Amino acid sequence: MAKPTALSGFPELLPAQRIAEQQVLRTLAETFELHGFAPLETRAVEPLDQLLRKGETSKEVYVLRRLQETSPEGHAGLGLHFDLTVPFARFVLENAGRLEFPFRRHQIQKVWRGERPQEGRYREFTQADIDVVGRDVLPFHHDVEVARVMLDALGRLDFLPALTLQVNNRKLIQGFYQGIGAPDVDEVMRVVDKLDKLPEDEVRRLLVIEAGLTDVQAGAALGLAAISASDDSFVAQVRALGVTDPLLDEGLEELAAVVRRCADLVSDRVRIVADLKIARGLDYYTGTVFETRLEGYEWLGSICSGGRYDSLASDGRTTYPGVGISLGVTRLLVPLMQREGLAADRQVPSVVLVALPDEDAREACDATAQRLRRRGIPCEVAAAAQKFGKQIRYAERRGIPYVWFPGTDGGPDEVKDIRSGDQQSADPDAWTPPPADLTARITTSSTEQGASR
Amino acid sequence: MAKPTALSGFPELLPAQRIAEQQVLRTLAETFELHGFAPLETRAVEPLDQLLRKGETSKEVYVLRRLQETSPEGHAGLGLHFDLTVPFARFVLENAGRLEFPFRRHQIQKVWRGERPQEGRYREFTQADIDVVGRDVLPFHHDVEVARVMLDALGRLDFLPALTLQVNNRKLIQGFYQGIGAPDVDEVMRVVDKLDKLPEDEVRRLLVIEAGLTDVQAGAALGLAAISASDDSFVAQVRALGVTDPLLDEGLEELAAVVRRCADLVSDRVRIVADLKIARGLDYYTGTVFETRLEGYEWLGSICSGGRYDSLASDGRTTYPGVGISLGVTRLLVPLMQREGLAADRQVPSVVLVALPDEDAREACDATAQRLRRRGIPCEVAAAAQKFGKQIRYAERRGIPYVWFPGTDGGPDEVKDIRSGDQQSADPDAWTPPPADLTARITTSSTEQGASR
């Protein structure tokens, strides 16, 4: 078999990178579960008619067919899911009678999109979603909840560059555009959403030409979009624009509540900002909307987005409102791996390499290792009874910090920290590495092993 | 949208079932990592020519195509992987220069096969694989290692019915058939492998007709297949058949070593048996082979299988021998969920429901919950300020064991174990539930929530 090559858009991680990714995924899942979100997993496939309901994503879907498909129907109607929201909405409808509402779930899974691959855009990638869904009603406080949960989770990933969760509210902007008398509110939103791609003057021109605003109205719309604040001072700034509308009032109150009630989770690494130009495209969001920027990686766009849907799912009789946020794990991590060498500081989970004096001692060394494992210490026994110097280098190459030497002539075992050279006698039923050494550390030094694709 | 229905062969779990599955997956990963196996994940797709190399599985492969595929090549050449061995072999070849050998990895992922679905056979299912791969050479002691690691992992899943790891050795049976003068050793192996489907007399007949054995040779081959032992006493039984061959000797020694060196991990729930009729079909195994039977679920076949390959992968110049075992997680758990109601005893990760006296108290209740979370206690705040009796039933329906009541009029908070009714004052910075309550328990009572599909 010739040497295989990578597939563009399908990133794979080397062991030290994968250990880092796995730590991130475990931290996310643990944090979501601390907040009572149940782990959910849906099948990878959905009926094509479900996947194509919104039309716009149609060309991104991977369709499945069995190689020896005979029947014309068969699996011709299945495709890989391109997000975790469509499958979740379907799962809720399918199992509504067996779920307790409000239903909180987290879902960490691969999704697939047949897009043209580029840095930060992959054909296979992992997302981590949290959502709360209600039956008929879902009180606003869940909007605050999902923001708090995601901020808590992101705050624990302390190796990341600084993050800003940008929040806005559809009611606020729709109410404002109504309040200024815009003839087509959706069109105004669509044009204002171009502010991160077009110069302000061009947007102003389009607001007049395409959205039918007067110059004064366009100025007001741009005035609103220019407002951002890390506390509820934005309310006074909006009020100063002199526009009144009941929906605007509702949106202002909700957005102020999100920002205020997340304040205790803010740090210099994880911030929350009310940013009144955020609209989340023309999706079906109906209240709070979220986007997230990573400092130094603004070109990635939003790495963590979501919002409130008044109808996440509906079977005609019952409507299920929801609010959620989706973190693009691959999209966040792979660029950091490629550009900053983000990876774990070891290639194996082992904290200890048990050295092997000679092959006959393997059984005894296995027993020592098993005693360490019984107390939760990951370890491995040397693969071959080489000279101890070689075994230490074996550990070094893998980033294993400790080498364990079985006692000779009835003497005690000894353990060596191969970073410091410090060596001391140790009992396999009692010795414990410092907690910081128990699991690999995530580093961003460029001396770590090569980048992924 | 009409109520969606399940897709045959694509099982999905309800929350309490998924919590149980997730505990299993975490236990497996943690155990594998205690033994130094690095977590690895490969992309879900492989080039079709790789997937079809062995031919026999061709009709099971799901082929991908982008919905709007235009170029004739494009993704016409990709399919979903049907196991984790083919992708792992490809990963090793592709990244050999960046890996340290021997390379130990575990890989827990979904795989897809377009087979006709039936109980225990799914179109989408999760496997948990461990493998050790060497460059050029891989000493035999790794055969013992993978058996020990899997026994250790299975032993921790204490809610499972009893399991028997059946071990055999290809060298042993090939050497034996050579030793009796069989004209076509592979054909003998193929016929003997039918012993679990056909009566012994029919197999004896086929050994003569199809494998060209004499009656005496056929009797010896069946005599070997009848031998099984939970210790190395099988060696004497084989010797008593009077056959000699150097390859047989090597196989006997290896198999005896596996059984002997796993003895300390055996319990009444997890056993190891040298079973000399196990051959693992006509796969490319070259030494140790493994299968596993679940007591009461023998009709499932082997739920955990593997063995030694002298050539897991090769690029023509370098050969990578390997040894590994693959556990069929979905295949093991879903029948137990359907037949014995296996599930977690709660539908949410929360240990505590923080009761809400009135909506104005939400912020204070969130703060209490956050103090509990800071010490690793999963909890949630009641969704609505209903009467406390209703909030207790809310917890009950979800299986949450404790309800936390904020203190009134400056009094202390109280926590109630809603199973026993016991209620006591508690400090959110100090109270801890008993360790057994911290995570959900896996139960098999049929009173748990409905089965999956």
B40 and A18 within 8 Å at the Cβ level: the answer is yes
Torsion of CA B296, B297, B299, B301, to 10 degrees: -130
Domain membership of residue B5 (yes or no) is: no
* A53 found inside a domain: yes
Q: Which residues from B are below 8 Å from A22, CB to CB?
A: 39
In a domain, B443, yes or no: no
Q: Nearest Cβ partner of B114 from A58, A75, A313? A: A75
Q: What is the pLDDT of residues A107-131, one digit of tens each?
A: 999 999 998 898 889 999 999 999 9
Residues A100 and A162 in one domain: yes
- In angstroms, the CA B381 to CA B367 distance is 10
Instruction: Verify whether the Cβ–Cβ distance B35 to A6 is below 8 Å.
Output: no
A261·B13 Cβ contact <8 A: no
Angle between helices B200-209 and B215-225 (to 10 degrees): 130
Q: CA torsion angle for B100, B106, B107, B113 (degrees, to 10)?
A: 110
Of A10, A40, A139, the CB nearest to B45: A10
Residue A64 and residue A27 share a domain = no
Residue A186 lies in a domain: yes
* Domain CATH for A414: 3.40.50.800
**Using CB atoms, which residue from A36, A93, A397 is nearest to B100?**
A397
Hey, are the CB atoms on B93 and A4 less than 8 Å from each other?
A: yes
Residues in chain A within 8 Å Cβ distance of B61: 66-67
Across the interface, do B18 and A1 touch by the CB < 8 Å criterion?
no
For residue B86, the distance in angstroms to the closest alpha carbon of chain A comes to 12
* Residue of B120, B130, B176, B132 whose CA lies nearest to B153: B130
What is the span of the domain harbouring residue A73?
45-80
Of the three residues B343, B362, B394, the one that is the final residue of a domain is B343
Q: Which of B41, B61, B67 sits opposite A61 (nearest CB)?
A: B67
Q: Are residues B381 and B298 in the same domain?
A: no
Q: How many Cα atoms sit within 13 Å of A190 on the Cβ side?
A: 11
The predicted pLDDT at position B447 comes to 40
A176 to chain B, closest Cα gap in Å: 29
Q: The domain spanning residue A34 has which CATH number?
A: 3.30.930.10
Q: B385 and B428: one domain?
A: yes
Dihedrals phi, psi of B199, to nearest 5 degrees = -65, 155
Cβ–Cβ pairs < 8 A, chains A and B: 237
Residues A143 and A265 reside in one and the same domain? yes
- Cα B84 to Cα B183: distance, rounded to the nearest angstrom: 35
Q: Which residues of A touch B75 (CB under 8 A)?
A: 62, 114
CA distance A412 to chain B (A): 23
Q: Whose CA is closest to B256, among B367, B337, B150, B144?
A: B144
C-alpha dist (Å) from residue A385 to A359, B88, B183? 6, 27, 41
Are A100 and B398 in contact (CB < 8 Å)?
Answer: yes
Q: Which residue of chain A comes nearest to B261, CA vs CA?
A: A363
For residue A351, give how far its alpha carbon lies from the nearest alpha carbon of chain B (Å): 8
Among candidate residues B320, B343, B366, the one where a domain is terminated: B343
pLDDT tens readout for residues A68-100:
766 554 445 899 999 999 999 999 999 999 999
Q: How far is B196 from chain A (nearest CA, A)?
A: 29
How far apart (Å, rounded) are the C-alpha atoms in residues A147 and A271? 11
Per-residue pLDDT reduced to its tens digit, A276-296: 999 877 668 999 999 999 999
Contacts of B98 in chain A (CB under 8 A): 14, 449-450
> Quick one: A394 and A318 in the same domain?
no
Residues of A in contact with B362 (CB under 8 A): 141
Cross-chain Cβ contact B38/A60 below 8 Å: no
Chain A residue closest in CA terms to B17: A40
Between β-strands A103-112 and A124-133, what pairing exists: parallel, antiparallel or unpaired? Answer: antiparallel
Report in angstroms the alpha-carbon separations of A423 from A249, A373, A394, A397, A434.
Answer: 68, 21, 18, 19, 14
Q: Please tell me whether residues A214 and A318 are part of one structural domain.
A: yes
- For B347, which of A13, A18, A100 is closest by C-beta distance? A100
Of B5, B8, B10, B12, which to mutate for an interface test with A (greatest number of A Cβ within 10 Å)? Answer: B12
Q: Which of A19, A68, A75 sits opposite B38 (nearest CB)?
A: A19
Asked whether the beta carbons of B418 and B401 are under 8 A apart, the reply is: yes
Cβ <8 Å between B3 and A315: yes
Answer yes or no: do B166 and B267 share one domain. Answer: yes
Asked if B244 and B154 touch (Cβ cutoff 8 Å), the reply is: no
- Could you report the per-residue pLDDT of A165-201, keeping only the tens digit for each? 999 999 999 999 999 999 999 999 999 989 988 999 9
Separation CA B322–CA B324 (nearest Å) = 7
**Among A160, A286, A199, A180, which residue's Cα sits nearest to residue A241?**
A180
The C-alpha atoms of residue A116 and residue A106 are separated, in whole angstroms, by 28
Q: Per-residue pLDDT for chain B (453 aa), expressed as one digit of tens each?
A: 677 889 999 999 999 999 999 999 999 999 999 999 999 999 999 999 888 877 655 568 999 988 776 655 444 589 999 999 999 999 999 999 999 999 999 999 999 999 889 888 999 999 999 999 999 999 999 999 999 999 999 999 999 999 999 999 999 999 999 999 999 999 999 999 899 889 999 999 999 999 999 999 999 999 999 999 999 999 999 999 999 999 999 999 999 999 999 999 999 999 999 999 998 776 689 999 999 999 999 999 999 999 999 998 999 899 999 999 999 999 999 999 999 999 999 999 999 999 999 999 999 999 999 999 999 999 999 999 999 999 999 999 999 999 999 998 889 999 999 999 999 999 999 999 999 999 999 998 644 444 443
Could you give the CA distance from residue A306 to residue A285 in angstroms, rounded to a whole number?
8
SS (H, E, C) chain B: CCCCCCCCCCCCCCHHHHHHHHHHHHHHHHHHHHCCCEECCCCCEEEHHHHCCCCCCHHHCEEEEECCCCCCCCCCCEEECCCCHHHHHHHHHHHHHHCCCCEEEEEEEEEECCCCCECCECCEEEEEEEEEECCCCCCCHHHHHHHHHHHHHHHHCCCCCCEEEEEEEHHHHHHHHHHCCCCCHHHHHHHHHHHHCCCHHHHHHHHHHCCCCCHHHHHHHHHHHCCEECCCCHHHHHHCCCCCCHHHHHHHHHHHHHHHHCHHHCCCCEEEEEECCCCCCCCCCCCEEEEEEECCCHHHCCCEEEEEEEEEEECCCCEEEEEEEEEEHHHHHHHHHHHHCCEECCCCCCCEEECCCCHHHHHHHHHHHHHHHHCCCCEEECCCCCCHHHHHHHHHHHCCCEEEECCCCCCCEEEEECCCCCEEEECCCCCCCCHHHHCCCEECCCCCCCCCC
Same-domain status, A293 and A404? no
When scoring A64, A94, A115, A136 by the number of chain B Cβ atoms within 10 A, the one with the most, hence best to mutate, is A64
Closest CA to B337 of B437, B174, B448: B448
Name the nearest CA neighbour of B384 among B409, B365, B359, B405.
B359
A439 part of a folded domain: no
Least Cα separation, residue A376 to chain B (angstroms): 7
B102 contacts in A (CB within 8 Å)?
Answer: 383
Quote the minimal CA–CA distance from B178 to chain A in Å.
31
Best A27, A35, A132, A354 member to test B by mutation, with max B CBs in 10 Å, is A35
The C-alpha of A36 sits at a distance from chain B's nearest C-alpha, in angstroms, of 5
Per the structure, how many domains does chain A have? 3
Residue-wise pLDDT for A434-448, tens only, equals 999 999 999 986 444
Find, in chain A, the residue whose alpha carbon is nearest to that of B373.
Answer: A34
Chain B residues inside the 8 Å CB shell of A12: 41-43, 91
Instruction: With beta carbons under 8 A apart, name residues in chain B contacting A19.
Output: 38-39
Pick the last residue of a domain from A57, A80, A103: A80
In a domain, A6, yes or no: no
Asked if the structure places residue A330 within a domain, the reply is yes
* B169 lies in some domain: yes
In a shared domain, residues A117 and A74: no
Cross-chain Cβ contact A38/B64 below 8 Å: no
Residues of A in contact with B449 (CB under 8 A): 98
Residues of A in contact with B334 (CB under 8 A): none
Same structural domain, A273 and A391: no
Q: What is the pLDDT along chain A (453 residues), one digit of tens a residue?
A: 677 889 999 999 999 999 999 999 999 999 999 999 999 999 999 999 888 877 655 568 999 988 776 655 444 589 999 999 999 999 999 999 999 999 999 999 999 999 889 888 999 999 999 999 999 999 999 999 999 999 999 999 999 999 999 999 999 999 999 999 999 999 999 999 899 889 999 999 999 999 999 999 999 999 999 999 999 999 999 999 999 999 999 999 999 999 999 999 999 999 999 999 998 776 689 999 999 999 999 999 999 999 999 998 999 899 999 999 999 999 999 999 999 999 999 999 999 999 999 999 999 999 999 999 999 999 999 999 999 999 999 999 999 999 999 998 889 999 999 999 999 999 999 999 999 999 999 998 644 444 443
Contact yes or no for A35 and B373 at CB 8 A: yes
Q: Do A384 and A334 meet the contact criterion of CB atoms below 8 Å apart? A: no
From A18, A50, A66, residue closest to B41, measured CB to CB: A18
| Cβ–Cβ below 8 Å for B39 and A91 | no
Separation CA A228–CA A180 (nearest Å): 20
The answer to whether residues B59 and B195 belong to one domain is: no
Distance CA(B106)–CA(B31), nearest Å, equals 10
Q: Residue B58's pLDDT is what? A: 58
